[in-house]
Amino acid sequence: MIELPIIHDSHYSGDRLIAALQRGASRCDRRPLPMSMDEARARGWDEIDIVFVTGDAYIDHPSFAMAILGRVLEAAGFRVGIISQPDWKTCDAWRRFGQPKLFFAVSAGNMDSMLNHYTANRKVRNADAYSPGGRIGLRPDRATLAYCQRAREAYKGVPVIAGGVEASLRRLAHYDYWSDTVKRSILLDAKPDLVVYGMGEDAILEIAQRMQIGATVKDLRDMRGVAYMLGAKESAELVNELQPDSTASVFPTTLIPSFEAVVADKAQFAEATKIIHTETNPWNARRLVQMHDRQAAVVNPPRLPISQTAMDAIYDLPFDRHAHPSYTEPIPAHEMIKDSVTIMRGCFGGCTFCSITTHQGRTIQSRSQTSIVGELKRMTDDPQFKGIVSDIGGPTANMYEMKCTRPEVEAKCRRQSCVHPTICKLLGTDHAPLIKLMKEARETPGIRKVLVASGIRMDLARRSPEYMRELVKHHVGGHLKVAPEHTDAGVLELMRKPASDDFEKFADVFNAESQKAGKKQYLIPYYIASHPGSDLHAMIDLAVFLKRNGYRPDQVQDFIPAPFDVATAMYYTGINPFTKEPVYIAKHLRDRKLQRALMQFFKPENYFEVRKALEEAGRQDLIGSGCDCLIPARAPQAAMDARRKDANDRFPGNYVHSQDKAGGSKKAAQKQSRFAPGKGYRPDRRRPGPNS
């Protein structure tokens, strides 16, 4: 009989991390982790315990997974090597350090590789922010699959542990937007021995320590936060134990609709999504089992959130904060975050289009003020640091130290969001610790300015006038980015976002406080086009709102159905997984293009798309010169020029009735004439003469 132990921890985790890091942090080398065997030997290492393979450039900054996990393992006494963006066409790079003593740790990088490569229109992106020089093509599509395969080829029998966002969010059957299909668990396609999902410091340290004393990968199946595949025989035994009439000991496990079922029936896909997202509270989540033919994908409950002491121990490690010295080009992602400081992780917002809650957890895990200020002081020692902290925050900047005031209730809670449809009365929303931290941060010697660039939860911020005053007066660099996402009540409900007037109230307070501080500061609101539930009427209302309030978005965010998200399930099935009600979906490229154009109605090149959208929706009242009109009755010359340029770009070449293009040859122009000399399709035909 297969044995899957019951997991019933009831306290914060991190004891293992604290013990290992506080004891071993002094052994950390201040140099970046080695990317070659020569660098390893310079440290006195003749072999490597764990080899990290990552799709990102290696930056020794705590915002990057390979850096934070590698430093944790190094502090615990393990020898770690980094293979960054290897050539996946052969397994030579995987042999760079020789055979790892314990395992390969594989990650596609900080983003899903498909999201990294392609836009919402499935076009190849022009740049990769996580690569030197922003160059594209340095990682494969579905990088986890390729990296795991090469690791197995390089050294047979060496365990392969997959992690990161891509592996985490594809651990069960999922909709893949780029192939427009439901794909099976990544456990079957990539074939790792184990997938670690969510934040991985505590898990990877446990794996390394247990394997060091002789544990096999199979022994690790009792861990929280891991997923694995069972063989046909083991799967049959497990399913038999889960039968209602079974007399065997039943584990806290739930069987979700199988891969075959979710492929055949969208209602089953929606049901599976509902169960998966209901089982995310680490204090009451059950183990999930999903059959793929005769094999079971098993997902253990999430790991418990780590304590503040453990968070401090991780972020107090001696990160270099720079890209590895082997790089000669700047890395855009590093340029953006190099002067930022992470103060917390997790998000209890539960937005349906966002993966943060799914990946980092709903429980907020915060660092102490002592640890954060200590990092700021270390930043001032760097001669390249200019004294301006680009961001002090996390997934949501103003959730610092917020938590449920009743832990015994939190242990039973199954809400998807602590702030939707209303802010839970048990949620502690005190901004006092954050206000104190912000004051201390900006008063740190060597710090000139501390900005807040992370997302602001506006409904929480308005609860604290003092926070709003401190934020606006001291921590905004002229512009503050916020994300109201939409104005339509139905769409906002599907997003699990506050009502539209929440943003308007926030804007009023922001403007009033800016005026009191004697500053000209502006909000930059972000909105999403083509989100499930958003039709032309909803987008037209949003466009009118933007015009009335003078907002002209420079960038438009198109909804991209990322694996595992609730909104992705809506997009694929046309069903709200939690209510089973139908949801409008803008699936066709034409529909998505019209919604995108409406958000930038003021651009001449969008004139004809906006007009088409307004006519389709019967809103010709918005065409003309009225106060709310989005476009004039006559197309401006700039719109005509843009249309002509677009046609020429899409259909290059010379035509019978077109003028010769600049730079075209005379011979090419002659071929366009009916009377041009040369062979035609009837060469013997007599040509007409002047007297014909």
pLDDT tens-place string over residues 576-630: 999 999 999 999 999 999 999 999 999 999 999 999 999 999 999 999 999 999 9
- The confidence score (pLDDT) of residue 255 equals 94
- The confidence score (pLDDT) of residue 662 equals 47
Do 22 and 75 form a contact (C-beta atoms < 8 A)? no
Contacts of 632 (CB under 8 A, 6+ apart): 623, 624, 625
Do 202 and 224 form a contact (C-beta atoms < 8 A)? no
Q: Helices 536-549 and 607-616: crossing angle, nearest 10°?
A: 120
Do 62 and 68 form a contact (C-beta atoms < 8 A)? yes
Give the percent of the chain with pLDDT over 90: 83
- Mean pLDDT taken over the chain: 90
Residue 250 has pLDDT above 50, yes or no: no
Element spanning 614, H or E: helix 607-616
Nearest to 360 by CA among 374, 379, 346: 346
> What backbone torsions phi and psi does residue 455 show, to the nearest 5 degrees?
-60, 145
Radius of gyration of the chain (CA): 28
Do 339 and 392 form a contact (C-beta atoms < 8 A)? no
Residue at 478: amino acid letter: G
Nearest to 270 by CA among 568, 586, 492, 587: 568
Residue 60's alpha-carbon distances to 28, 66, 167, 233, 513, in angstroms, are 13, 8, 22, 44, 38
Contacts of 682 (CB under 8 A, 6+ apart): none
Give the percent of the chain with pLDDT over 70: 90
Do 431 and 464 form a contact (C-beta atoms < 8 A)? yes
CA angle 475, 396, 164 (to 5 degrees): 130
Encode pLDDT of 14-43 as tens digits.
788 888 887 766 667 789 999 999 999 999
- The confidence score (pLDDT) of residue 16 equals 83
Handedness of CA 667, 669, 673, 675 (dihedral sign): negative
Helix boundaries (H) for 304-365: 308-315, 332-337, 356-360
Looking at residues 384-405, what average pLDDT do you find? 95
Looking at residues 641-670, what average pLDDT do you find? 61
Encode pLDDT of 272-313 as tens digits.
999 999 999 999 999 999 999 999 999 999 999 999 999 999
Structural domains in the chain, sorted by start: 15-299 (no CATH), 339-475 (3.30.750.210)
Nearest to 195 by CA among 103, 99, 75: 103
Greatest extent of the chain over all pairs of C-alpha atoms, in Å? 105
Taking the C-alpha atoms of residue 474 and residue 192, their distance in angstroms, rounded to an integer, is: 48
Taking the C-alpha atoms of residue 604 and residue 641, their distance in angstroms, rounded to an integer, is: 9
Taking the C-alpha atoms of residue 31 and residue 324, their distance in angstroms, rounded to an integer, is: 9
Looking at residues 503-511, what average pLDDT do you find? 96
Residue 248 has pLDDT above 50, yes or no: no
- The confidence score (pLDDT) of residue 24 equals 66
Taking the C-alpha atoms of residue 46 and residue 48, their distance in angstroms, rounded to an integer, is: 7
Residue 380 has pLDDT above 50, yes or no: yes
Q: What confidence category does residue 387 fall into, taking pLDDT thresholds of 50, 70 and 90? A: very high
436, two tokens: 């104190």
Contacts of 292 (CB under 8 A, 6+ apart): 173, 184, 185, 188, 258, 259, 260
Q: Helices 432-442 and 465-474: crossing angle, nearest 10°?
A: 20
Residue 4 has pLDDT above 90, yes or no: no
> What backbone torsions phi and psi does residue 335 show, to the nearest 5 degrees?
-60, -35
- The confidence score (pLDDT) of residue 684 equals 54
Residue at 568: amino acid letter: T
CA dihedral (84, 327, 332, 458) in degrees, to 10, reads: 60
Taking the C-alpha atoms of residue 311 and residue 13, their distance in angstroms, rounded to an integer, is: 11
Encode pLDDT of 463-495 as tens digits.
999 999 999 999 998 999 999 999 999 999 999
Beta bridge partners of 344: 366
Q: What confidence category does residue 679 fall into, taking pLDDT thresholds of 50, 70 and 90? A: very low
Looking at residues 568-574, what average pLDDT do you find? 98
- The confidence score (pLDDT) of residue 252 equals 84
Element spanning 288, H or E: strand 287-292
Nearest to 471 by CA among 629, 600, 463, 329: 463
Residue 163's alpha-carbon distances to 3, 204, 411, 425, 671, in angstroms, are 24, 9, 26, 36, 60
Q: Helices 589-599 and 536-549: crossing angle, nearest 10°?
A: 20
- The confidence score (pLDDT) of residue 690 equals 46
170, two tokens: 């594809």
Handedness of CA 405, 492, 357, 257 (dihedral sign): positive
528, two tokens: 């999403």
Taking the C-alpha atoms of residue 252 and residue 259, their distance in angstroms, rounded to an integer, is: 21
Encode pLDDT of 139-187 as tens digits.
999 999 999 999 999 999 999 999 999 999 999 999 999 999 999 999 9
10 Å CB burial of residue 605 (0-12, 13-18, 19+) is middle
Taking the C-alpha atoms of residue 134 and residue 598, their distance in angstroms, rounded to an integer, is: 30
Give the residue carrying structure tokens 């242990």: 411
Taking the C-alpha atoms of residue 59 and residue 84, their distance in angstroms, rounded to an integer, is: 10
Looking at residues 228-232, what average pLDDT do you find? 96
